[in-house]
Amino acid sequence: MSHTTLLDLSRWQWALTAAFHITFPAVTVGTSVFLIVCYAMYMRTDDQLWLRMFRFWRRIFAIGFTLGVVSGIVLTFEFGLNWGRFAHDVGPIVGVMIAMEVVMAFFLEAGFLGLLVYGEGRIGKRMMLFSTCMVTLGTTLSVTWILVANSWMQTPAGYKVVNGQFQPVNWIHVIFNPSFGIRMVHMLVAVLIAAAWFIGGISAWYFVKRRHLPVARRGLSIALGSLAVILPVQGFIGDSVVGYVAQYKTPQFEAQEGNWKPNTGYNILEIPNQAGPANIWQVSLPWFGSAISQDWTGHTAIPPLSLTPKNLRPQILTTFYGFRVMWFGWLLMLAVAMTGVILRLRGRLYSTGWFHKLLIVMVPTGCLAIWGGWVLAETGRQPWLVYGKLLTVAAVSPLKTWPVVISLPAFVLFYVALLGTYIWYVARVVREGPGDGPLVEPAVPAFRTEPRPGLTPAI
């Protein structure tokens, strides 16, 4: 088979692994923040309901965290196996970032995860809360270093090229490259949104089943209250991200809008023609594209992809629809969250059955929006891996094609099995529920203050 086939298979294998991996941080980072809230409120109020919630969500967090770590390790191996040339060329920069994630994030998580999961009754409450905070900090640092590496690939800075290899000359510029700050904030808010829908949907399920209503009431209240605040904020952040794309990655901006000629309208759906110079079919809203560009007169046209040479154009299909999955997903989530606000103000949030069923359906929307955003960012960067500096076709390992052909379906089956196991376990925990009986917190063993029999105290 051709080099192009090898490249396509390697890209599919990477995309599959990355999509599987990002599902778990999308839920666990925000869930870890929720664990802090539950245990801190328990310490403050001594209300056993908060402790019940903490124990329940800790079980769900632990399995998601474990699978996230395992799938992340696979990505690291794929750097060296499928993308050996890329690993060689960017190793002095990206390799250091991966090492920093291990040192700062994995070690921190490994040091405190055991205390979070098994420490109750063995350590004091303050140490329990501290351990939960450290695990949350570890998950946040992990996301941070991933975004540092990926953002540097989007907008490389602070380097020099020596014998075809990128070497750092200013680590401040490398880390705080032009796109890192806004993309980091965008991602952190996105994982909070995904976790809030996860928590809100499971809480709504208990309302539908009329079980564990005190836990469901608090979970639903916190989830929808958080969404009502952070979803509008995410809209402003997302607009800033589009501004960075238009400035630094103009071909992606052109592809995500899907125009082949200047257009003041906004394309909702289309069947793109990668070669151009026109789409096969499209549905557009007149004037709206100009309005999104903050020109309410309707005269500002969105730049067309025909301005970019054919060999440097991103894939329009994935870029266009990746953006719309994220954008329309945000609009849907905002509408549902605002509906929840209205129901709360009218005193009907906990008694409206159709809304609870809707929230169950909304559980995966946060993750789907994150998937759409990553598809947009990664396919919109093509045909470059390091934007404007290293082509994807030049970064794949010189492998025989048959090992990738065999391993790709094996990866698919393995990840489907793991994802099925995760869904089964979460469903089992939800069916079991947080319980309704009285809770007894294990007593922390006291230190021995008296001498053991047969031993004489030192004088």
Task: Please state the rounded mean pLDDT for residues 371-375.
Answer: 92
Asked if the model's pLDDT at residue 139 lies above 80, the reply is: yes
Mean pLDDT value of segment 345-350: 93
pLDDT score of 430 more than 70: yes
Is the pLDDT assigned to residue 293 strictly greater than 50? Answer: yes
The contacts of residue 397 (CB under 8 Å, 6+ apart) are 10, 81, 82, 83, 84, 85
pLDDT band at 448 (very low <50, low <70, confident <90, very high): very low
Separation of CA 124 from chain center: 32
What was the pLDDT predicted at 151? 94
CB neighbours of residue 138 within 10 Å: 24
Name the band, by pLDDT with cuts 50, 70 and 90, for residue 445. Answer: low
- Write the pLDDT tens digit of every residue in 238-292: 988 988 888 889 999 989 988 898 888 888 999 998 888 888 998 888 888 787 7
Nearest alpha-carbon partner for 55 in 70, 69, 42, 68? 42
Cα separation, 276 vs 260, in Å, equals 7
Residues 317-346: tens digit of each pLDDT? 999 999 999 999 999 999 999 999 999 999
User: What pLDDT shows up at residue 207?
Assistant: 95
State how beta strands 266-271 and 281-285 pair.
Answer: antiparallel
| Both structure tokens of 437 | 């009986």
- Which pTM value belongs to this model? 0.90
* Residue 442: per-residue pLDDT: 56
pLDDT in tens, 13-38: 888 888 888 888 888 999 999 999 99
Percent above pLDDT 70 for the chain: 94
Percent of the chain with pLDDT over 90: 55
Contact (Cβ atoms closer than 8 angstroms) between residue 281 and residue 252? no
CA distance 64 to 367: 13
Structure tokens at 183: 């993309």
Choose between 121 and 151: higher pLDDT.
151
Confidence band (pLDDT; 50, 70, 90) for 356? very high
